[in-house]
Chains A and B, each alone.
Chain A
Amino acid sequence: MDNVRVIEVKRSIFESNDQDAEKLRGELKDSKTFLLNLMSSPGSGKTTTLTRTIELLKDKYRIGVMEADIDSDVDAKTIAATGVKAIQLHTGGMCHLDADMTRQGVRELGVEDVDFAILENVGNLVCPAEFDTGSTKNAMILSVPEGHDKPLKYPLMFSICDVVLINKIDVMPYFDFDLEKCKENILFRNPNAKIIPICAKTGEGMQEWADWLSENIEEAIK
Chain B
Amino acid sequence: MHELGVVFRIIDDLTELGKENELEKIHSVTLELGEVSGVVPSLLTDAWKWAADRTELMKGAELIIETLPAVTFCEDCKSEYETVAYGKICPKCGSNHTYLLKGNEFMIKEIAAT
Q: A: which residues have CB within 8 A of B?
A: 1, 3-14, 16-17, 92-96, 98, 100, 126-127, 130-131, 152, 155
In the complex, the answer to whether B2 meets A9 with C-beta atoms within 8 Å is no
A17 surroundings in chain B (CB, below 8 A):
9
In the complex, the answer to whether A5 meets B114 with C-beta atoms within 8 Å is yes
CB distance from A108 to the nearest CB of B (A): 18
User: How many Cβ-Cβ contacts under 8 Å join chain A to chain B?
Assistant: 76
Cβ proximity bits B74-114 to A, threshold 8 Å, 1 near / 0 not: 00000000000000100000000000000001111111111
Chain A interface secondary structure, helix, strand, loop or mixed?
mixed
In the complex, the answer to whether A95 meets B5 with C-beta atoms within 8 Å is yes
Query: With A9-B17, A12-B105 given, is the CB distance from A4 to B112 under 8 Å?
Result: yes
CB distance from A19 to the nearest CB of B (A): 10
Contact of B112 among A5, A10, A12, A16 (CB under 8 A): A5
Nearest B residue to A94, CB-CB: B5
Interface centre among A5, A11, A93, A131 (most CB of B within 10 A): A11
Complex Cα gap A17–B1 (Å):
18
A127 surroundings in chain B (CB, below 8 A):
2, 5, 38
In the complex, the answer to whether A13 meets B113 with C-beta atoms within 8 Å is no
Contact of B1 among A3, A93, A130 (CB under 8 A): A93
In the complex, the answer to whether B111 meets A6 with C-beta atoms within 8 Å is yes
Contact of B27 among A4, A11, A14 (CB under 8 A): A4
Complex Cα gap A3–B29 (Å):
16
Complex Cα gap A13–B2 (Å):
13
In the complex, the answer to whether A7 meets B113 with C-beta atoms within 8 Å is yes
- B68: CB under 8 A from chain A? no
A6 surroundings in chain B (CB, below 8 A):
110-112
- B46: CB under 8 A from chain A? no
Complex Cα gap A127–B112 (Å):
29
